[in-house]
């Protein structure tokens, strides 16, 4: 059954622009952190690549917790790794409110960028500060999406099934609300049943991603035990 006054706008992220913007964020935050703490051998720490992978996974877990806080059912949350496109992801396979998605978008930024950086300052820990900077880089698109949603009054959120896409359901014409980092790929008639997913994996990792993670762990072993 369709709702005639609403449309489903399928957005696709521009990963090239997004990654470039994230790099700029990392450089700016990195310079500030360098001025505060001086040089830190952050990337020379034992198992640093594995720690960063774990931190990225924590980032997505916090998105999931945000979904739960906002009312998403636990069984409708899915996690995945798609390193071919440079992303870890968390998806909500049910239509959710604007409040729900905005809570989820802010969770990693608040807890493992802002709070962790403040703790790093309080205990003079360059390591925690640099972890925060890395997450800030990863959270930059979350923030851009958060601020985009602030521009829309009538909106709910859904998934298209692709980790680099998302769906905004609104009675407003979202084609008129431009963004530098994502664009409207398709506009569909809204049908509530299209966003009631039943067949999806709770966790998905591509074969290429699994191999890449094994390589990362192997490099960490070499760096930690053979090159010291």
Q: Which residues pair with 11 in a beta bridge?
A: 166, 184
Q: Residue range 201-207: average pLDDT? A: 92
Count of beta carbons in the 10 Å neighbourhood of residue 72: 22
DSSP H stretches of helix in 38-170: 48-70, 98-109, 116-122, 126-149
Domain ranges of the chain: 2-222
Name beta bridge partners: 9: 168, 187
Question: What is residue 195's DSSP assignment?
Answer: G
> Using alpha carbons only, how large is the chain's radius of gyration in Å?
19
The CB density around residue 77, as the number of other CB atoms within 10 Å, is 21
CA atoms within 13 A on the CB side of 102: 13
User: Which residue, 208, 152, 109, is CA-closest to 11?
Assistant: 152
Summarised one tens digit per residue, pLDDT across range 159-201 is 998 888 999 999 999 999 999 999 999 999 999 888 888 888 8
Summarize pLDDT for 76-130 with one digit per residue, the tens: 999 999 988 888 999 999 999 999 999 999 999 999 999 999 999 999 999 999 9
> At 4, is the pLDDT very low, low, confident or very high (cuts 50, 70, 90)?
low
For 49-81, the pLDDT digits (tens) are 899 999 999 999 999 999 999 999 999 999 999
- Let me know: does 208 contact 87? Beta carbons within 8 Å: no
Q: Which two tokens stand for residue 200?
A: 């999806």
Has residue 2 got a pLDDT over 50?
Answer: no
User: Using an 8 Å Cβ cutoff, are 16 and 189 in contact?
Assistant: no
Instruction: Give the pLDDT of residue 93.
Output: 93
pLDDT beyond 90 at 23: yes
């Amino acid at each position: 059954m369709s709702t005639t006054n609403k449309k489903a706008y399928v957005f696709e992220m521009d990963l090239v622009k997004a990654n470039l913007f994230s790099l700029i964020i990392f450089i700016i935050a990195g310079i500030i952190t360098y001025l505060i703490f001086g040089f830190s051998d952050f990337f020379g720490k034992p198992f640093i690549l594995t720690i960063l992978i774990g931190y990225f996974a924590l980032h997505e877990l916090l998105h999931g917790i945000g979904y739960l806080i906002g009312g998403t059912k636990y069984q409708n949350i899915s996690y995945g790794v798609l390193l071919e496109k440079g992303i870890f992801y968390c998806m909500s396979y049910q239509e959710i409110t604007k409040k729900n998605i905005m809570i989820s978008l802010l969770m990693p930024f608040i807890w493992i960028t802002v709070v962790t950086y403040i703790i790093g300052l309080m205990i003079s820990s360059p390591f925690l500060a640099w972890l925060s900077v890395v997450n800030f880089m990863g959270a930059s698109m979350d923030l851009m999406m958060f601020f985009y949603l602030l521009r829309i009054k009538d909106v709910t959120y859904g998934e298209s099934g692709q980790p680099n896409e998302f769906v905004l359901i609104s009675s407003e014409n979202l084609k008129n609300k431009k963004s530098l980092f994502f664009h409207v790929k398709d506009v569909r008639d809204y049908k509530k049943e299209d966003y009631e997913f039943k067949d999806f994996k709770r966790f998905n990792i591509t074969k290429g991603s699994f191999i890449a993670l094994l390589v990362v762990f192997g490099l960490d072993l070499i760096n930690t035990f053979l090159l010291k």
